[in-house]
A and B are shown apart, each in its own frame.
Chain A
Amino acid sequence: MRGIIHLNNPYGDDKAIESCSIFGMMDTTGRRFGGRDVIRAIANMHDRSNGLGGGFAVYGIYPQYASYYAFHLMYLTVEARWDVEEYLKQNFNLIWAEEVPTQKTSGIVDPPLVWRYFLEVGNLRSEGQSEDDYVANRVMEIDTKLEGAFVFSSGKDMGVFKGVGYPEDIAHFFCLDSYEGYLWTAHGRFPTNTPGWWGGAHPFNILDWTVIHNGEISSYGINRRYLEQFGYQCTFETDSEVVAYAVDLLMRRHELPIEIVARIMAPPFWDQIERMSRAEQDLCRTLRQVYGSLLLNGPFTVIIAHQGEMIGLTDRIRLRPLTVGVKNSMLYLSSEESSIRLVCPDLDKAWIPMGGEPIVGRLKISEECPGVVMPQEVEVS
């Protein structure tokens, strides 16, 4: 989509630098809950954003359409909607289409048209291509080729809502208190060099993967060049985009589990590696040797989510904050502990994880698969 790049990064800077508030909340039993607490929690960190971007990702949101790809689209013009709907009809079985319900909100100026579509791939993909790859390619095609339209959510049974404004205003605009999901993430943005653009807000999404990010990645230049080798085009030139693509490459395409991905993006230091067991040394050394270009250097905290899993991770020397809270089956991740305490004053446990240590919340499927994967010293209650 021509124009979007200019809108997002009008000065053509290498990357949009930003700082942020992030919050995530997941019920590992899979119980669905409303957005009230998430909205209060992110609003509590109002001062960490500057009104130029807020957004939410909700998982388990469309149970009635759970087997279809749910596309959320932003349109700058009505004509763009016609083009996209024509495109969708040609490339998918269109199960349902509707305008996303919104309400007038004082802090939200000049919003785009927002529609959602439930889509089935059917027999339209070519042989040997997975449904996910087919959908990911169509998303890239709409974003780059159809003018005035942008896909900001494209997973199954999940949805992203985002735009320019404080996160609590975005929540009000999208009527988020009327939705229910078992996993919510939220983001308030503080970009330092852009007037803000609806698509540039977080979460970044491809398929059912979402990334919210607080940080500035000083390795951006090489992360981006490395990802370009695998066909990713970093058109938005924000740090967060490379995180999203790195996650897609490592977890979806290279099929690496999050424990491994954490050791690629925030690896242990060489002298830590040397103190490990032989097998662990081999593993960590090989990962750094092969994926050194995906080490995310500089300050960052990310919350990565996909169906059934929420992951919090900081850079390896923890230059941006992350606090973890646990209450029964609920896992909280937040930039600030105060926001967790606001919505859950009597936590079982709250702690600050080590730099580079992933905090993983998973849906409880059985006793063998605990919901929250904690550091070794901490007992799972």
Chain B
Amino acid sequence: MKTYLPPKFIVDRNPSRCIQCQVCVNQCSFDVHYYDADDDEVRSHEENCVGCHRCVIFCPTQALTIERNPLDYRENYNWRPEIIEDILRQAETGGVIITGMGDDKRQRIYWDHLVLNASQVTNPSIDPLREPMELRTYLGSKPERVEIEPDSLELKTYLAPQVELDVPVMFAAMSYGAVSLNVHESLARAATESGTLWNTGEGGLHPKLYKYGHNTIVQVASGRFGVHPQYLDVARVIEIKIGQGAKPGIGGHLPGEKVSAEVSLTRMIPQGTDALSPAPHHDIYSIEDLAQLIYALKEATNYQKPVAVKIAAVHNSAAIASGMVRAGADIIVLDGLRGSTGAAPKIIRDNVGIPIELALASVDERLRQEGIRNRASLIVSGGIRNSGDVVKAIALGADAIYIATAALIALGCTVCQQCHTGKCAWGICTQDPKLAKRVNPDIGSRRLTNLLRGWSLEIKDMLGGMGINALESLRGNRLHLRGVGLTDTELEILGVKMAGS
């Protein structure tokens, strides 16, 4: 069938610069560039271009420019080009449109409508270059009070397991299978070096990475891939994945082509078979079932590891989170509307779930109203872009933040949304050994460590400006936030005042 889909991009090759070296031909995993030996000329199949810029960056003579194909349809706000092209795609395939990365639509990004405070006159700002500035964070359940032996001042209260973070930014779940082993290794090493945690995702942990267990969160998801006693034992934290911001309410699907020998070993499934994660956990149909799984995992690990429960941010998050805390979760993870994915139905990614800022504000507030906020730590994820977003999330009430897309961008990702194809030209979201070796864990871990270092320096600057020298004094401190361009209802849900008031 002749496709009616036009090319998205135009590949502009400057003939006076191109030396026919064919680097672009070798780098492109989407078969855009090809060499015509008869004419001694490199040419393009533009219809294949996804705009990932791999060729642009590696072209030694800077001969390449990738432009968006202007392709002016008659202006129509309802029938936008993307909508027309999605219909064409489905008319040609009869299937569900699958895509990668997070929601790219125009729902309000609340971070951009929140601004931070700074000290002037009545309160000195603190210079982090000259004064201590503390970002240390402990994740885990805390009691309501501490009891002390009155005479000896000895501690009578012992805490549930706590996990220390030097920087309140962790790497979110990305499974081995979705991303390559080199990406896992880069994340694991960067987390270890930076004093934070990374998350295996639901595809198990390759034995090669067990040595990073002290900085590893292992995930137990509905497919139970790769879950065995040693997997739980090496981990620092166990995370039960109920849902994901990119695809609330549905399961996961790793196509058999990506299940290589190594992936099959780690996931504990036959090579080449599809790895299907069911939509629900089939042993969790209600909150009391969740409590059973939480305590089964705690029993299995002798109550030495915090158990986190991750849900997608949805309408009733506040009530659900309250139930999760009461069911014994030590950490609550909320993944928002913009949460990313290796593959999800586009219609679900872009239409299901709520923005993380609103979910975070309402969950934190509800747990406080019920007097149980201390019983669980609160982690948020889904579209966190920079240290400003991190600081705002902490001021709204988060204990720590997960990043995934930002971490992949640090490794080279340009958010071209082709994760589901397995053809990632940057070697991130692929199992093709030729592509996967493009991520070098030595360099990858350094890039990630640099990113976290840069963010933590910026966070310290912002804290100092607010006259705060410990992160716990910002956590939930919404008075340091103001809203710009928000309605009264939005401000009320965020628990934030309008700028100027």
Interface residues of A (CB under 8 A from B): 12, 14-15, 17, 19, 192, 216, 218-222, 225-226, 228-230, 254-257, 259-260, 267, 269-271, 279, 282-283, 286-293, 295, 297-299, 316-317, 319
Contacts and interface: CB of A to CB of B under 8 A. Distances in A.
A225 B474 CA distance: 12
Interface string B124-158: 10100001101010100011011110100111010
B468 A290 contact: no
A20 to B, nearest CB: 12
Contacts of A259: 153
A287 B159 CA distance: 10
A222 B476 CA distance: 6
Contacts of B154: 279, 283
A287 B374 CA distance: 13
Given A218-B466, A271-B132, A288 B479 contact: no
A219 B473 contact: yes
B150 A283 contact: no
B472 A293 contact: yes
Q: Is the interface of B mostly helix, strand, loop or mixed?
A: loop
B159 A216 contact: no
A317 B469 contact: yes
Contact of B477 (A219, A270, A316): A219
A189 to B, nearest CB: 13
A157 B427 CA distance: 76
B124 A257 contact: no
Given A269-B134, A319-B124, A286 B368 contact: no
B119 A289 contact: no
B472 A221 contact: no
B132 A292 contact: no
Interface in B301-326: none
B470 interface: yes
B479 A14 contact: yes
Contact of A270 (B123, B136, B142, B374): B136
B135 to A, nearest CB: 9
Interface residues of B, number: 43
In the A-B complex, the 3 residue pairs with the closest CB atoms:
A221-B479, A292-B472, A219-B473
Given A218-B467, A295-B470, A289 B162 contact: yes
B476 A228 contact: no
B466 A289 contact: no
B468 A270 contact: no
A317 B119 CA distance: 16
Given A286-B159, A293-B476, A295-B472, 14 more contacts: A19-B122, A216-B122, A218-B467, A221-B477, A222-B475, A229-B371, A256-B148, A260-B153, A267-B470, A290-B145, A297-B473, A298-B119, A316-B469, A317-B131
Given A222-B475, A297-B473, A287 B136 contact: no
B54 interface: no
Contacts of A19: 122
A255 B157 CA distance: 13
A257 B150 contact: yes
B373 interface: yes
A74 B120 CA distance: 35
Contacts of B132: 269, 271, 317
Given A260-B148, A290-B142, A297 B475 contact: no
B29 to A, nearest CB: 46
Nearest to B151: A257
A290 B368 contact: no
Contacts of A218: 119, 123, 466-468, 473, 480
23 contacts: A12-B501, A15-B479, A17-B123, A218-B468, A222-B475, A222-B476, A222-B477, A228-B368, A254-B145, A255-B147, A257-B153, A267-B470, A289-B142, A289-B159, A292-B470, A292-B475, A293-B475, A293-B476, A297-B468, A297-B470, A299-B123, A317-B126, A317-B469
B134 A270 contact: yes
